[in-house]
Amino acid sequence: MDHRRKRKLTFFTIGLLFLLSGVEYAVILPTIWRYLQTLDAAPYFLGLALSAFSLSGLLSGPLFGHWSDRTGTTKKIILFANLFEIIGNFLYFMGFSKWLLLSSRLVAGIGTGAGSAIFGFLTRSTSPDDRATVFAAVMACRQAGLLIGPAFNIFLRLCDFHLGPFVVNKYTAPGLFMCLLWILLQLAVVFMYWDLPPLERGRSKVSSTNQSREEEDEQQHVEEDNDEEKPLMGSQEALESYGSVVASNTPTYHSPAASNAALNHISPPASPVPPDSHETSSPFKNFSISREFLREEVVVLLAAQFITLFNQTALETMVTPLTQKYFGYGELENSIMYCLCGVEVIAGFLFVRWLSRRVAERVVLAIGLTICNISGVWCLIFLAKPLGGFPWQLAEFIIGVFLQVLGLPFVAVAQVSLFSKVTAEKTQGFSQGVRRSVGGLATILGPLWAGGLTDNMYIMMGVMMALLALLTMMLGFSYDRLVAPATEEQVDDSDSCS
């Protein structure tokens, strides 16, 4: 099988993984509240169950990312992480007690840590110009899962039979269903996923340096006689495409092995570093956590990750009790609501994918944050204490949810794309793990915050709005720094390599 086909199948499998993560969220969330009620769980248990899933993902993300950076592989990590998803969802299906259900979400959450390794792989496999587009497509796959998930709930709610000692009903069926889907994904990963060779990292950058290399071709053609006397890599662009050889003046294609041989042949003998030493050296050599993450632009992006996910999960936790209280919604109505939200989010990601090709990511982030602020004000005014009769309350609720969902794609794509650019590429797995852990902390605290304040909506909404105002000020002060690293920093990295 050729390399291009392997690459397509690998990316397709990544899309399937994120699709299933969205399906799992969508089939679990609408029913877990009633499920806990059948197990005589207190209201705060809803926040505990949702937070447990994020807690284990928070801890496993950096570990899986570090594993990926060290080994340069992701297939084994995905297969290992999916085992926790399979076991966790089967425990959710068993559901003998509220504590077993809580443990099931804790175990299943470990599997989400593989996402940090996958984002690190995607960062190393894409050029900076295409990265936002690729991330938007991957995130859209998860949102497609959120759209499809409620449709599965429509027939899962009809389940009512016994499977040996286990009861299969509308509450336990989602666990069994997701367990089977994750087993099928394991087979897809085994047969359709490849750890692409390290050369892929170099190829991802070639497209951004074509023009400079064509100029080098012309110069080499003119000065062909003394070609070997000149430095092989004389420009920053050539250094960035490390591992590839400067094109010769003949159209003959050279294989990667031949390219490395040519490098060894014509490189100046005074160079103490062999061409492939960068590939074999540890990615964490001279790595400093404080130097990497305690920078203004990184702190702002991590704050955006935390605050937006905190607000989102707090509102999601509050939605099902709110719809039950004011509108009498059950599992079917909640599933339809989440299905409609999924349509809106997918449309938003498609629009952001188009927009990111035309404007900078920081502009997309500013647009998303503006929408989030409008949504926060609306929810503080109209959802904290709904006004009017049933039609007005329903309209106020729909507008609030619409605005909240609308801003999500803008912030999500912009901050993850910017984060991949302002942090080191060689340790992207670990860095993405840290970013996802910050998000995991938000998804832990958000449900806990909302679950304990369902009767004090003004306090809950007020704190959320204050966090958005703080993030807006941080973005305003640091707007100029939210760009890809300056050329000087790249030169410093190149000097340290040579």
Residues 321 and 173 in one domain: no
Of 175, 197, 219, the one marking the end of a domain is: 197
Of 162, 179, 197, the one marking the end of a domain is: 197
Report, as an integer, the average pLDDT of 375-385. Answer: 83
Residue 228, in any domain of the structure: no
Encoded tokens for 79? 């297969």
| Stronger pLDDT, 129 or 377, i.e. the higher one | 377
- Distance from C-alpha of 93 to C-alpha of 178, rounded to nearest angstrom: 9
Report, as an integer, the average pLDDT of 132-154. Answer: 78
> Per residue in 398-408, pLDDT tens?
888 888 888 88
Q: Is residue 250 scored above 50 in pLDDT?
A: no
Q: Are 423 and 431 in contact (CB under 8 A)?
A: yes
> Per residue in 259-276, pLDDT tens?
444 333 333 433 343 434
Residues 299 and 192 in one domain: no
**Which among 231, 237, 243 is positioned nearest to 214, based on CA atoms?**
237
Nearest-5° Cα angle at 282, 280 to 285: 140
Report, as an integer, the average pLDDT of 246-258. Answer: 40
Residues 185 and 308 in one domain: no
Residues 58 and 190 in one domain: yes
Q: Give the number of domains in the chain.
A: 2
Residue 283, in any domain of the structure: no
Count H helices, E strands: the chain?
20, 2
- Distance from C-alpha of 32 to C-alpha of 30, rounded to nearest angstrom: 6
Residues 189 and 330 in one domain: no
Of 197, 221, 240, the one marking the end of a domain is: 197
Residue 498, in any domain of the structure: no
Residue 205, in any domain of the structure: no
Could you give the count of Cα atoms lying within 13 Å of 381 in the half-sphere of its Cβ?
9
Which residues fall within 8 angstroms of residue 410, CB to CB, at 6 or more apart?
348, 352, 364, 365, 367, 368, 369, 371
Residues 54 and 175 in one domain: yes
Residue 334, in any domain of the structure: yes
pTM, whole model, 2 decimals? 0.66
Report, as an integer, the average pLDDT of 82-108. Answer: 91
Residues 311 and 187 in one domain: no
Residue 268, in any domain of the structure: no
| Stronger pLDDT, 357 or 258, i.e. the higher one | 357
CATH of the domain at 408: 1.20.1250.20
Q: Are 316 and 345 in contact (CB under 8 A)?
A: no
DSSP designation for 381: I
Q: Is residue 90 scored above 90 in pLDDT?
A: yes
Domain with 19 in it: 1-197
281 band by pLDDT with thresholds 50, 70 and 90: low
